[in-house]
Amino acid sequence: MDRLKVGIIFGGCSEEHPVSVKSAQEVARNLDIAKYEPFYIGITKSGAWKLCDGPDADWENGGSRPAALSPDRSVRGLLVLDQGKYETISLDVVLPVLHGKLGEDGAMQGLLELSGIPYVGCDVQSSALCMDKSLAYIVARSAGIATPNFWTVTANENIDPDRLTYPVFVKPARSGSSFGVSKVSRKEELLSAVETARQYDSKVLIEEAVVGSEIGCAILGNDLDLVAGEVDRIDLSHGFFRIHQEDEPESGSENSTAIVPADIPAESRSLVQETAKAIYRALGCRGLSRVDMFLKDDGEVVLNEVNTLPGMTSYSRYPRMMAAAELPLAEVLDRMVSLALTGKIR
């Protein structure tokens, strides 16, 4: 039987470029090459697309060729420049392993829609919606899901520090991981925190600090056919959770540990999983997402954010939660591809 031709896109122009490369390396280690013929398309930090042998440390050099995903549906694949001429490579499915802007915000998904190639993950609408935390909160609230109280500050807009109750978190409304996020304990710190967030997005979100445990749930599937991974809990020694900010994340964080399965009561675990599924459906997610939430002392579950293309590195939360539910990454990748091609988990 012919192997499925899978385009694996990684890298990208966002601040999460290095994490994306590490995610692609883990995917490469776990992809069953007896079933799939992988084509690795790396996007440099400056936005150049290159077809390469794999996401190794030297992928930008070492024989890589300029390539582009054709938006022409009669091609349904890649245009690769080789010795001054373009050749075409057809693709059966695309697996975007991209994080942050121009990766999981709907931009890449729009290009894939134009191409007519099935792809793994959320569509344009849900990708854009989940990327904008303020819009995600509005939709979640309309579905009866608890969210933090929040305020948005647009470009060049001023906010009166006296109108807020501290502490608050200030973050870019449309950015990934913890880039540009500040915890503000005093009103004198607010304006500086807003300017920090504006380095990553012109729209800034200010939200109340929720007192509770930071928890997450990995979701896989479409519509009513959803699989939830084990719940995790972020154990903080001090400060706040800043994912992907460490110098050597493989060796662990300086202030946090992810406990999988989470050390919470069974009824809380079930509530977290069901709430994650409800959030996933309300925001129109498909394929996969990691739903981050807070579990308050009174048992209430509050939405934090949804990551539509979560990290797949050896230390990332999504694959660890799935592995704890006895779904190794190789099987998760199989199911992702099946969902992209058929809409169902095989």
Active-site positions read 19, 22, 99, 244, 250, 290, 311, 315
Confirm if 151 and 170 have CB atoms less than 8 A apart. no
Q: Burial-class residue 301 by CB neighbours within 10 Å (0-12, 13-18, 19+).
A: buried
- Rounded CA gap, 38 and 26, in Å? 13
| CA angle centred on 56, ends 52 and 58, rounded to 5° | 75
Local structure of 84: helix, strand or coil:
coil
The structure tokens 């308050």 sit at 296
DSSP state of 188: G
The set of residues, in sequence order, having a beta carbon less than 8 Å from that of 164 and lying 6+ positions away, is: 151, 187, 190, 206
CA-to-CA dists, residue 163 to 89, 198, 235, angstroms: 57, 20, 31
**Which backbone phi and psi does 213 adopt, to 5 degrees?**
-85, 140
As a whole number of angstroms, the distance between CA 83 and CA 297 comes to: 64
End-to-end CA distance of the chain: 18
**Residue 288: strand, helix, or coil:** strand
- Strands in 65-69's sheet, in edge-to-edge order, are 85-90, 77-82, 65-69, 49-52, 36-43, 4-11, 93-97
Neighbours of 247 (CB within 10 A): 6
φ, ψ for residue 102, nearest 5 deg: 65, 15
